[in-house]
Amino acid sequence: MKNYVHIENAQMSFETRKGVFVALKDVSLNIARGEFISLIGHSGCGKSTLLNLVAGLLMPTEGVLLCADREIGGPGPDRGVVFQNHSLLPWLTCFENVHLAVERVFSASEDKAQLEIRTRNALALVHLTHAEDKYPHEISGGMKQRVGIARALSMQPKVLLMDEPFGALDALTRAQLQDELMKIVAKTNSTVIMVTHDVDEAVLLSDRVVMMTNGPAATIGEILEVNLPRPRNRLELAGDVEYMRLRSEVLRFLYERHAHPAAA
């Protein structure tokens, strides 16, 4: 399916005290099934807004968004969301946090034992079987984010939406989780839309990097195809000519053509 996620002329404006603020304008994008898309841009360019539109947390003021040929009318379990600050419920264990999502989606069709197996499988996928009875405050930031990913994937969503999932982590943990994410995506054949401000992350993980212009009225500036073969290895790619070219393409877009207004 070529148009698994279909965004057509989406516009998003907010009513503010100073009048109408147009965050996004004329955004059109087609995403194929199994594709990994990064949205990159300076802060305030509306990339999170675009992600929230796909998630259904926001409704566009104009335009249409479709997921698997159905109009996105609100949040739904067919789109799993990983939040930047993990957003686990602190009074539930890792197991219970994931189980809450599993229960919602599958309790109509499966029995209790099956739901528990699903939850365990999701935690095993992110290598957290040993921490399933721990509370979020008892585990590290990287582990929390992995539970967040497990929770999103446990619903078997059509699309996985990630809002700067590794932004709050240190560089080493981030690299480790990126590698894990690549493996998980390869194994589950997920369709992913990820918001990031990290150029290396975008190039390393994506099939296409969607570069956004600065707001207000931000839109898609350029789309970069990343045709590096998979599985990708960050060490091998570090000296790869094609990787370097792609990386500098993104950098040039961000810092030459669309430098941040505050920095310019």
Partner 1 sequence: MKFRRYFGEHLFPPLLGAALFLLVWMILAQSSDALPGPMKTLDSAIALFSDPFYQKTPNDQGIGWNILNSLGRVGVGFGLAALIGIPLGFIVGRIQFIDKMTSPIISMLRPVSPLAWLPIGLLVFKAANPAAIWVIFISSIWPMIINTAMGVRQLPQDYMNVARVLNLSEWKIFTKILFPATLPYMLTGIRLAIGTAWLVIVAAEMLTGGVGIGFWVWDEWNNLNVEHIIIAIFVVGIVGLLLEMLLVRIAKRFSY
Binding site for partner 1 (CB under 8 A): 55-57, 74-77, 79-81, 83, 85, 87, 89-92, 100-101, 104, 137, 155
- Give min distance, CB of 235 to partner 1, in A: 35
Structure tokens given for 105: 């989606």
User: DSSP H helical segments within the chain, as ranges?
Assistant: 47-55, 94-106, 112-125, 141-154, 171-188, 199-205, 234-237, 241-252
**End-to-end C-alpha distance for the chain, whole angstroms:** 41
- Give min distance, CB of 123 to partner 1, in A: 17
* Backbone torsions φ then ψ of 217, nearest 5 degrees: 60, 45
Residues 88, 4: Cα–Cα separation, whole Å: 29
| SS3 state of residue 112 | helix
Pick 46 or 199: Cβ nearer partner 1: 46
Pick 57 or 228: Cβ nearer partner 1: 57
Pick 51 or 224: Cβ nearer partner 1: 51
Pick 24 or 55: Cβ nearer partner 1: 55
- Give min distance, CB of 215 to partner 1, in A: 21
- Give min distance, CB of 141 to partner 1, in A: 15
- The DSSP line for 18-48 is TEEEEEEEEEEEEE-TT-EEEEE-STTSSHH
- Give min distance, CB of 254 to partner 1, in A: 28
Pick 25 or 60: Cβ nearer partner 1: 60
State how far the alpha carbon of 34 is from the alpha carbons of 3, 157, 225, 251, in Å: 11, 12, 15, 26
- Give min distance, CB of 237 to partner 1, in A: 33
Does residue 157 contact residue 105 with C-beta atoms inside 8 Å?
A: no
Does residue 3 contact residue 30 with C-beta atoms inside 8 Å?
A: yes
Residues 207, 210: Cα–Cα separation, whole Å: 10
Pick 89 or 124: Cβ nearer partner 1: 89
Strand order in the sheet with 36-40: 79-82, 159-163, 191-196, 36-40, 208-212, 220-225
- Give min distance, CB of 77 to partner 1, in A: 6
Pick 80 or 215: Cβ nearer partner 1: 80
Residues 29, 207: Cα–Cα separation, whole Å: 14
